[in-house]
Amino acid sequence: MDNNYKLLNTELPYAWKTTMDTFISKASNAEIWDDKGNRYLDYVGGYAVLNTGHLNPVIINKVENQLKNFTHSCFAFAPHENAVKVCEELNRRYPIDQKTKSFLVNSGAEAVENAVKIARHSTKRKNLISFIGGFHGRTHMTLGLTGKDIPYKDGFGPFPDEIFHATYPYAYRDISTDQAIDSIEEIFRNKANPEEVAAILIEPQLGEGGYIPCESDFLSYLRSICTDNGIVLIFDEIQTGFGRTGKMFGVEHFPGVEPDLVTLAKGIAGGFPLAAVTGREDLMDSPRESGLGTTFGASPVSCSAALGVFEVFDNDNLLSHANKQATIMHSSLDELQKVSQFIGEIRGLGPMIGVEIVNDKKTKEPSKEKTNKIISLAKSKGLLLVSCGLEGNVIRFMGPLTTPLEQVEEAMEIFSNSVKDI
């Protein structure tokens, strides 16, 4: 297997570099084993995909049953019931007060691309506003919307020139809601008249940008200006959806604020490729017939998995369990922060927790070096973690929401020891 691993350097492009230096061999819920027999607690979770854990039996049963019937159907030609059921569930569950419809695709980037298409078609406008620190995908349009340049955008431009990046509130770095509002107003004054803006796209909590929850009053402001100016408000809930924040969707942490469109992916199908755009009926019906389409989107297998995900949430009290995890994690991390000079801030909605690592609490100087060291030490002790943030100095926790509480405690102990060991 060592020889096979070496082939990664000769058969795959450098840009597709892997984090681990072994192959995954098997997995079960929150645990994975590599080909050398090492066991790890998986707090990466396929980058917040495996909210329902590895090989969830409910989901696997749904998939196995579907595999006995058919594996693929291009939905626009030969529709199947499972896709309609998934759309029905999304329309019922996502808290937009008006009648909604849903469109299914393969990935989060595709969902964002289609949300932009829908917003532009319905408004007959071209300009878009997204946020510094936001991450929305790796296609050309979604890279343009992404507000983190290195490594994602480096060398891949030029990007669409009708995209403008505003400031995201970041209290720990002294970026207030007022400053974020001022950045929007500056765009309106000098770059893009509000009557020419098709959509504003925002994550309720930044993912790749540093696990920073948005400020409620800022989202309320966005809702107000979008309503007043006919701008489509899009929530990117690709990472915050499906229980990641302790509620089914991140928007539920911000009462009174509803998007017009929302993009969903990652946890939607328990590890099978599926994504969605859900939104107001009038917007979703704006494109003409065949204006939206996909060959592999709405896969019958993935849709079966998604129906399994809904069943797990409904029958296993998963949100309650996720919030019990969050309580354990915050308690442990708060105690750790008291004795560590390197933990600048602990933040996040529910179990979607980020820990910002600094060289010193007083200066708040970001430390990517210490972050990487902690991650490396944690791996050596059996805990898998990755970083995020504009400076690469935020450690994020993305373990399955199904993780047994004793394994949550184990993970926190490993993390605590790793921080203390640097």
Which CATH number does the domain housing residue 132 bear? 3.40.640.10
Q: 263 and 334 share a domain? A: no
Which class for 85: exposed (0-12), middle (13-18), buried (19 or more C-beta within 10 A)? middle
Give yes or no: residues 271 and 394 share one domain.
Answer: no
pLDDT of residue 413: 98
Of 236, 292, 294, the residue nearest 266 (C-alpha):
236
pLDDT at 8: 82
Beta bridge partners of 386: 396
pLDDT at res. 394: 98
The CATH number of residue 27's host domain is: 3.90.1150.10
Q: Tell me the CA distances in angstroms from 226 to 81, 116, 144, 221, 318, one per residue in order.
A: 35, 15, 21, 9, 34
- Rounded Cα distance between 191 and 175, Å, is 21
Supply angle C-alpha 266, 159, 296, rounded to 5. Answer: 35
Looking at 293, 315, 337, the residue that finishes a domain is: 315
What pLDDT was estimated at residue 7? 81
Could you tell me the residue range of the domain that residue 170 belongs to?
Answer: 65-315
pLDDT of residue 343: 98
Residue ranges with strand state E in 111-257: 127-131, 163-166, 197-202, 232-236
Q: Of the residues 286, 315, 344, which one is the last residue of a structural domain?
A: 315
Chain centroid to Cα 99, Å, comes to 25
In 3D, which of 50, 28, 13 has the Cα closest to residue 242? Answer: 50
Tokens 């790749």 sit on residue: 208
Backbone CA torsion sign across 232, 133, 383, 27? positive
Identify the pLDDT of residue 370. Answer: 98
Query: pTM to 2 decimals?
Result: 0.97
Q: What string of DSSP letters covers 167-197?
A: PPPBGGGTB-HHHHHHHHHHHHHHT--GGGE
Q: Are 237 and 251 in contact (CB under 8 A)?
A: yes
Radius of gyration of the chain (CA): 21
311 and 321: one domain? Answer: no
Same-domain pairing of 211 and 154: yes
Residues 330 and 272 in one domain: no
Q: Which of 315, 337, 368 is the last residue of a domain?
A: 315
Q: Are residues 230 and 351 in the same domain?
A: no
Sheet with 394-396, edge to edge strand ranges:
343-349, 352-357, 394-396, 386-388
What is the SS3 assignment for 200?
strand
Asked if 288 and 311 sit in the same domain, the reply is yes
Report DSSP state, residue 133: T
153 in the same domain as 84: yes
Q: Could you say which residues of the chain have pLDDT below 70? A: 1-3
Asked if 210 and 252 sit in the same domain, the reply is: yes
How far is residue 98 CA from its own chain's centroid?
Answer: 25
Cα(47)–Cα(44) distance, integer angstroms: 5
- For residues 33 and 135, give the distance between their C-alpha atoms in angstroms, rounded to a whole number: 30
pLDDT for residue 336 = 98
Q: Using CA atoms, how far apart are residues 6 and 170, in angstroms rounded to an integer?
A: 41
Residue 327 is encoded by which pair of tokens? 């309580």
> What per-residue confidence (pLDDT) applies to 2?
67
Cβ-based neighbours of 184, under 8 Å, separated by 6 or more: 129, 166, 221, 222, 225
* Total domains present in the chain: 2
How many Å apart are CA 143 and CA 88, to the nearest integer? Answer: 30
